[in-house]
């Protein structure tokens, strides 16, 4: 299925979402931002989707905002609309979908593109990929929750330096910094991403979604609040069909067949 600037396919309970403006390195315009939001909503409500992969077509993952849009008066939505109607809802949807979202970074991820990737649950990258906090290069500040996630991933000092200097971070360096999960060789990237995604799609989706909720809340909860939430959500998870299947499979010494509920 093609929707102009977004391509979507669903295979083996995995929704593959590809940003599809390769001629401009998948930079965001209003159409692509709104279509991505609609696509994420559809994935959230589709019970056939148990894992989501976000990637880019062509040589880049995403170069951030399409500067042509913001420098063309008749096209420019204005920065307030771009943030409040484009990027902020995308970040919120990625974090609030109670299904695993994998960023498969197939090339450069710059500006908002880098920060959208870092908001995903698992970030993997091809060895030739790079991450750039490009905002300072044009006199802007980081957005798309970059100032929220990056310091938590790699520490305040390194995040501050990368955001102020705008250094390019290689995929290998990103792994070493703790910014992303894994890097894969070019010739095995697609196979490895598929393996990760399909593995997630066969796991207990409800429990993964509750885990995601716990991680979200851990960003702001006190220890006491987090312990209470863990107890509440563990009780919810223990009432699921997948828990019963997991325990039964363990006792019977077989591989569990989770249904995602």
Q: What is the DSSP letter of 194?
A: H
Q: pLDDT value at position 3?
A: 59
Per-residue pLDDT tens digits for 188-220? 999 999 999 999 999 999 999 999 999 999 999
Q: Return the CATH number of 6-202, one of 3.30.70.100, 1.10.287.3510, 3.40.190.10, 3.90.226.10.
A: 3.90.226.10
Which residues of the chain does CATH 1.10.12 include?
205-252
Say whether pLDDT at 2 is over 50: no
3-state secondary structure of 170: strand
Question: 205-252: what CATH class?
Answer: mainly alpha
Say whether pLDDT at 246 is over 90: yes
Residue 12 token pair: 């083996």
pTM above 0.75, yes or no: yes
Say whether pLDDT at 168 is over 70: yes
pLDDT band at 1 (very low <50, low <70, confident <90, very high): very low
Contact 40, 53 (CB under 8 A): no
Per-residue pLDDT tens digits for 46-77? 999 999 999 999 999 999 999 999 999 988 98
Q: pLDDT value at position 92?
A: 98
Q: pLDDT value at position 54?
A: 98
Q: pLDDT value at position 31?
A: 95
Per-residue pLDDT tens digits for 106-159? 999 999 999 999 999 999 999 999 999 999 999 999 999 999 999 999 999 999
Which residues of the chain does CATH 3.90.226.10 include?
6-202
């Amino acid at each position: 299925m093609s929707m102009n600037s977004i391509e979507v396919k669903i295979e083996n309970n995995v929704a593959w979402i590809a940003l599809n403006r390769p001629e401009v390195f998948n930079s965001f315009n209003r159409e692509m931002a709104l279509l991505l939001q609609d696509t994420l909503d559809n994935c959230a409500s589709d019970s056939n989707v148990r894992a989501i992969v976000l990637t880019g077509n062509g040589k880049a993952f995403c170069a951030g905002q399409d500067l042509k849009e913001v420098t063309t008066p008749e096209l420019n939505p204005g920065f307030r609309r771009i943030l409040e109607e484009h990027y902020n809802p995308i970040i919120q949807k990625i974090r609030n979908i109670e299904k695993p979202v994998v960023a498969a970074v197939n090339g450069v991820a710059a500006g908002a593109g880098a920060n959208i990737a870092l908001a995903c649950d698992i970030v993997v990258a091809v060895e030739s990929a790079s991450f750039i906090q490009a905002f300072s290069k044009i006199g802007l500040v980081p957005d798309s929750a970059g100032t929220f996630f990056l310091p938590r991933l790699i520490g305040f000092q390194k995040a501050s330096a990368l955001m102020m200097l705008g250094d390019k971070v290689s995929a290998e360096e990103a792994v070493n910094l703790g910014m992303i999960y894994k890097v894969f060789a070019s010739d095995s990237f697609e196979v490895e991403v598929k393996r990760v995604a399909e593995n997630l799609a066969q796991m207990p989706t409800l429990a993964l979604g509750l885990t995601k909720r716990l991680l979200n809340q851990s960003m702001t909860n006190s220890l006491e609040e987090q312990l209470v939430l863990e107890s509440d959500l563990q009780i919810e998870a223990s009432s699921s069909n997948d828990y019963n299947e997991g325990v039964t499979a363990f006792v019977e010494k077989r591989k569990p067949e989770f249904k995602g509920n």
